[in-house]
């Protein structure tokens, strides 16, 4: 283990984000862990997981459903019921007690759901009735995705209201802000990309139309939260959940320009693809279109993250696997210490094993 002073790492310097000051630029990425309790209510075990990671400059929760219709997987938490608000409140209070900051990720999975997960066994909804290739995760194991029902134009205000209500609930639950999940093939991303959005109305066709729903959600949330407490997550070329766009550079250039007008806390960009190392989008060019804070994500190492911050490409870097396995990641980076390896077998579902039992560094003797 080489000793290097933490003060030499730009990654570990504070960052001002609106009225908030992040103690460092390491972010706990939003990570689906499928360990919510009955009623998709956050539990004390979930609290321990977040508290253990409270030394991150910012924690972003796992995707949390804005409504019953938004659910896409078993045992993922929501932020639409009173019990869920209460469960999250315990978590935000415990994180704040440790000096941490925590945003909740607002999630609607759209067509990546399954009728067996939804009220009245309704079909999942989407911009267009295009079935994803692959399989949904249900209570009884995986099942082939279904052809979703295209949202009627007069249903869209209801979806926006669900985001607004969830954002209000997040405030009651004591969060420091919200992240709108518009990435990874879920509902808002399904609207953004032309492979999944073939609508003929004002929510489909041109980029302006495809990004209208995201624009309207951001606008609605700005009536609930100050803009500098709202982040947006995008994944311009991630193919996860069978999604694609014919012109990702052009589409996401337009999206970043639109978001830039909203003076948000940050954009959070999953660069490249979750499942391979290919990168075809110019992220440096995208970054230049957004004058606020830029959070980079996807396979960054300590060295690459530091370089990205030094180069001015990123203001913050979100870590997933590394934070799963190393609750004290900032301290490990400070000491340039070895990292624990994450065990993929315990990523989704289960109890404390692989969730809250990763060891921290031994205290110096």
Q: Which residues bind ligand PHB (CB under 6 A)?
A: 32, 63, 183-184
What one-character-per-residue DSSP string does 206-259 give? SHHHHTHHHHHHHHHHTTTS-GGGEEEEE-TT--TTT---S-HHHHHHHHHHHH
Q: Is the Cβ of residue 6 or residue 34 nearer to ligand PHB in the bound state?
A: 34
Tokens read off for 89: 């409140």
Q: Least distance from C-beta 297 to ligand PHB, angstroms?
A: 10
Q: Is the Cβ of residue 18 or residue 320 nearer to ligand PHB in the bound state?
A: 320
Secondary structure of residue 262 in the 3-state scheme: coil
Q: Least distance from C-beta 133 to ligand PHB, angstroms?
A: 16
CA pair distance 94, 113, nearest whole angstrom: 32
DSSP-assigned letter for residue 363: P
Q: Is the Cβ of residue 118 or residue 240 nearer to ligand PHB in the bound state?
A: 240
Q: Least distance from C-beta 37 to ligand PHB, angstroms?
A: 18
Q: Which residue has the tokens 């639950």?
A: 173
- Burial pattern 317-339, b for ≥16 Cβ within 10 A else e, equals bbbbbbbbbbbbbbebbbbbbee
Q: Least distance from C-beta 316 to ligand PHB, angstroms?
A: 18
Q: Which residue has the tokens 């607002």?
A: 106
Q: Is the Cβ of residue 243 or residue 293 nearer to ligand PHB in the bound state?
A: 243
Q: Least distance from C-beta 6 to ligand PHB, angstroms?
A: 31
Residue 135 has phi, psi (to 5 degrees) of -130, 140
Give the Å distances, CA to CA, from 310 to 22, 279, 287. Answer: 17, 21, 15
Residue tagged active-site, from 50, 80, 163, 186: 186
Q: Is the Cβ of residue 186 or residue 225 nearer to ligand PHB in the bound state?
A: 186
Q: Strand locations in the chain, DSSP E?
A: 15-17, 20-22, 26-28, 58-65, 102-107, 125-126, 135-138, 141-144, 149-150, 177-181, 230-234, 266-270, 293-297, 316-319
Q: Least distance from C-beta 184 to ligand PHB, angstroms?
A: 4
Give the Å distances, CA to CA, from 91 to 78, 94, 95, 351. Answer: 14, 5, 6, 17
CA pair distance 203, 345, nearest whole angstrom: 39
In 3D space, the residue among 226, 234, 233 whose CA is nearest the CA of residue 171 turns out to be 226
Annotated active-site residue 283? The verdict is no
Q: Is the Cβ of residue 79 or residue 183 nearer to ligand PHB in the bound state?
A: 183
Q: Least distance from C-beta 241 to ligand PHB, angstroms?
A: 8
Q: Is the Cβ of residue 183 or residue 281 nearer to ligand PHB in the bound state?
A: 183
Residues designated as active site: 186
């Amino acid at each position: 283990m080489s000793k290097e002073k933490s003060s030499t790492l730009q990654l570990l310097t504070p960052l001002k984000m609106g009225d908030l000051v992040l103690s460092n630029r390491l972010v706990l990425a939003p990570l689906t862990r499928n360990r919510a309790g009955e009623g998709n209510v956050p539990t004390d075990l979930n609290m321990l997981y977040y508290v253990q990671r409270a030394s991150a400059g910012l924690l972003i929760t796992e995707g949390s459903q804005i409504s019953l219709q938004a659910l896409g997987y078993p045992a993922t938490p929501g932020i639409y019921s009173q019990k869920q608000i209460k469960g999250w409140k315990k978590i935000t209070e415990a994180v704040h007690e440790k000096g941490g900051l925590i945003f909740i990720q607002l999630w609607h999975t759209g067509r990546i759901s399954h009728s067996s997960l939804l009220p009245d066994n309704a079909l999942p909804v989407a911009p267009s009735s295009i079935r994803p290739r692959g399989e949904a995760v249900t209570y009884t194991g995986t099942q082939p995705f279904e052809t979703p029902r295209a949202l009627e134009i007069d249903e869209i205000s209801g979806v926006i209201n669900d985001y607004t209500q969830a954002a209000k609930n997040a405030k009651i639950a004591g969060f420091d802000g919200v992240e709108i999940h518009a990435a990874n093939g879920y509902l808002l991303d399904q609207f953004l990309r032309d492979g999944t959005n073939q609508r003929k109305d004002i929510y489909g066709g041109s980029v302006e139309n495809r990004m209208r729903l995201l624009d309207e959600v951001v606008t609605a949330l700005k009536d609930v939260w100050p803009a500098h407490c709202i982040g947006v997550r995008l994944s311009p070329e991630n193919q996860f959940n069978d999604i694609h766009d014919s012109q990702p550079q052009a589409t996401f250039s337009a999206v970043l320009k639109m978001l830039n007008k909203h003076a948000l806390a940050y954009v959070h960009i999953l660069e490249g693809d979750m499942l391979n190392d290919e990168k075809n989008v110019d992220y440096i060019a995208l970054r230049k279109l957004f004058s606020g804070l830029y959070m980079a994500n996807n396979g960054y190492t300590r060295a690459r993250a530091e370089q990205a911050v030094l180069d001015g490409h990123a203001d913050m870097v979100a870590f997933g696997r590394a934070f799963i396995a190393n609750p004290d990641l900032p301290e490990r980076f400070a000491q340039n210490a070895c990292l624990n390896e994450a065990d993929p077998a315990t990523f989704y579902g289960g109890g404390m094993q692989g969730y809250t039992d990763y060891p921290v560094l031994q205290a110096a003797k």
